[in-house]
Structures are given as C-alpha cells and as structure tokens.
Amino acid sequence: MFLALGFLLAGILVLLFLPALWARASRLSMRRLQMLAPFTREEAIAQRDLLRADHAFRERKIAQELDEARATKAKHLLEIGRKTVQLHEQEEKQKRAEAQSRELQRELAEARDQLGERAELLALTERALHGVIARYERLLNGLRDANLDPQAFGADARGELSAAEDALNARLAELHEDYRGLRRAVEALQRENASLSPRANGFDAAAADLAQLRPELESVRTRKQGLEDELNALRATSRDDSERKASRIAQLELALRQSRDEARDYAEKLETARADNSMLEGAINALRKDRERMRGSALPSVSLDAGDVATLRQEIVNLGARMLNTKEHAG
C-alpha cells in the first residue's frame, strides 16, 4: 500500500514537472536546430543578393575589358592604315624621282652625243677650209711665179698660159665660192653650237640637280625602309596584342562561365536551404503543436505520448544530421 502510494506521489510529481521539462527540451531543440541550419531566411536572401551583385560586377568588369580590347585593336588597325598610306606615298615619290632621274640622264646623254657630233663636224670643216686655203695660196704663188718672165714664152705658150690663167681664175672663183659656203657652214655650226651651249648648260644643271636629288632619293629609300620596319613591328605588336587579348578574353569567358556555374550552384544550394528551412519550420510547428497537446492531455495519455516524443526526437536528430551534411557540402 505504501509502495502504491509512493508510486502515485511520484507520478503526480512527474506530471507537475513534465510541462516545464518539455518546454526546456523544446527550447534546447529549437536552439540546436537553429544552430544546425546554415542561415536564416533573411541571411539566405542577403546571400542571394550578394551573389547577384558579385555576378553583375564581374560581368560589368569583363564587358569593360572587352570594350578596351576592341578600342585598342581599332587604334592599332587605324595606325596600320595610316602607316600603309604613308608607305604608298613614299613609294610613289620614289617612283616619280626615279623616272625623272632616268629622263634627265637620257636627255643629258642625247645632248652630249649631239655636241660631240657637232664638234667633230666643225673640226672636219675647219680642216677642209685650211686645206682649200693652202691649195689656193699654192696656186696663187704658182701663177705669180709663172707671170714673172712672160717674154720667155712664145705666142703659143702665152695662149696656153692665158687659157691656164682663165681656168685657174675659174677654179679660184669656184674655190672662193666653196670657201664662202664652208665659211657659212662654219658660222652656222658655230651658231648651232652657241645655241646648244645653254642646253648643255641646262643639262649640266639638270645633272647637278640629279646629283642633289640622289641624297634625297636615298633618304626617301631609308625612310621607306624605316616605315616598312615600323609597319612590320606594329603588325607584330598588334598580332601579339591580339593574341594576348584573345587569351585574356578566353580567360574572362572561362571565369564568367565559372561564375555563372557558381551562381547556379549557389542558387541550387539556396533552394535546398529554403526547403530545409521549410522542413525545419514544419518540424518546429509540429513540436509546438505536440507541446500544446501534451500540456492539455490527461494522466492516462502520458505513457502513450512517450513513444511519439522519442520518434520526434529521432527525426530531429536525423534532420540535424542532414543539415550538417548540407553545410559541409556548401563549404
């Protein structure tokens, strides 16, 4: 009897302290569940906004770098075009200078040939004139010598002498006419030579100009070679820059894809966390309902709810283990 009375008192004491113990256990379970959760709903929303902002910042940075790469490439192409135009202009100037040089050399050679021909013709004419003058003087001296002793010849001799004198006078007239023709030819050659002298001087001046143009032509060739070297270097630099920019763009695209994959993973993890939070909220609501039901239940139903409490605790432990695994995978 005393034993039954003791059990009854013990049961009454347990029923008195059971609501307080259950409330304490519920608070501890809620705190443990909140500690096991990776983040709350507000933290999840903040994490999502942070991921979106980070993703937008990376996309903007990649877009700016792509714009800078395009601007640099356009600048290099413009510089290459300008250098190409300058190179073509220098080539045209060089071709014109070479054509002018060849034309001046040809005209100078023709003038020198004409001057040599005229000088040779003038020398031949002077030699012929001197020969005619010498022959005329010899004939004149012979005639004078023949006229020194006219009495020594007879009538026939005088007739022959008169005929010879007439023939000699005719020949002298012809020689005088030839002499005058040769003199006119010599004067014409001298005038032509005088007219050719300014042209020869002009050709000499052209030759001097050509000699002055040669250093300029060499400088043009040197500038052309320098422009070609600079253009080749600029093309090599542009090609290297294009390769570097292409590599950088590929890296940025890879980083962009990785950031998108990370954002997708974070979104999936966020959805998983939301589902887990929903499950936790459901479990918490179930715990609250069970607590309220336990508070309003009678003494005979206490032994029946003990198994439910154990089952609920096991589910809470399993849910906490799942949350820990989710947190480890997220880390």
Alpha helices, DSSP H, located in the chain: 2-36, 41-146, 155-296, 302-330
Q: Is residue 214 part of a domain?
A: yes
Q: Is residue 308 part of a domain?
A: no
Domains held by the chain: number: 1
Distance (Å, rounded) from C-alpha 270 to C-alpha 182?
123
* pLDDT, position 299: 39
pLDDT band for position 303 (cuts 50, 70, 90): very low
Q: Give the number of other Cβ atoms within 10 Å of residue 25's Cβ.
A: 14
Q: Is residue 82 part of a domain?
A: yes
Q: Is residue 131 part of a domain?
A: yes
Residue listed under structure tokens 């239940």: 297
**Where is average pLDDT lowest: 59-73, 103-117, 135-149, 300-314?**
300-314
Give the pLDDT mean for 60-70.
Answer: 88
Q: Is residue 325 part of a domain?
A: no
In the predicted structure, residue 159 carries a pLDDT above the cut 70 = no
Q: CB burial class (10 A; 0-12, 13-18, 19+) of residue 249? A: middle
Share of the chain above pLDDT 90, in %: 0
Domain of 253, CATH number, reads 1.10.287
Q: Is residue 24 part of a domain?
A: no
Q: Is residue 32 part of a domain?
A: no
In the predicted structure, residue 211 carries a pLDDT above the cut 60 = yes
Contact residues for 234 (Cβ-Cβ < 8 A; gap 6+):
76, 79, 80, 83
Residues 182-204 pLDDT 10s = 667 667 766 766 666 665 566 56
* Domain that residue 233 falls in: 37-296
Structure tokens at 153: 């010849």
Task: Determine phi and psi for 155, rounding to 5 degrees.
Answer: -65, -40
Q: Is residue 159 part of a domain?
A: yes
